[in-house]
A = this chain, B = another copy of it.
Amino acid sequence: MKRILAPINAETKRRRIAEFERRCREAGIPMTDQRRIVVEAVLDMHCHPTADQVYASSQVRRARISRATVYRSLESLVMLGVITKACHPGDVVRYDARLEPHHHLVCLECGEVVDIADPSITMTRLPDMSVFGFEVRDCRMQLRGVCRRCRRKEKKR
Q: Please state the number of chain copies in the assembly.
A: 2
Q: Which residues of the other chain, B, contact A133 by a CB distance below 8 angstroms?
A: 147-148, 151
Interchain CA distance A43-B139 in the complex, whole Å: 28
**A141 touching B143 by the CB < 8 A rule?**
no
A138 close to chain B: CB less than 8 A: yes
- CA of A70 to CA of B40 in the docked complex: distance in angstroms? 41
With A121-B127, A132-B4, A136-B144 as known contacts, state yes or no: A86 contacts B85, CB within 8 Å. Answer: no
Whether A19 is near chain B, meaning CB under 8 Å from some CB there, is no
Contacts of A137 in B (CB 8 A): 108, 144-146
Name which residue of chain B comes closest to A85, CB basis.
B89
Chain B residues, Cβ within 8 Å of A134: 105, 107, 114, 143, 145-148
Give the B-binding residues of A (Cβ under 8 A): 2, 4, 84-93, 105-108, 114, 116, 118, 120-121, 123, 126-127, 129, 131-148, 151
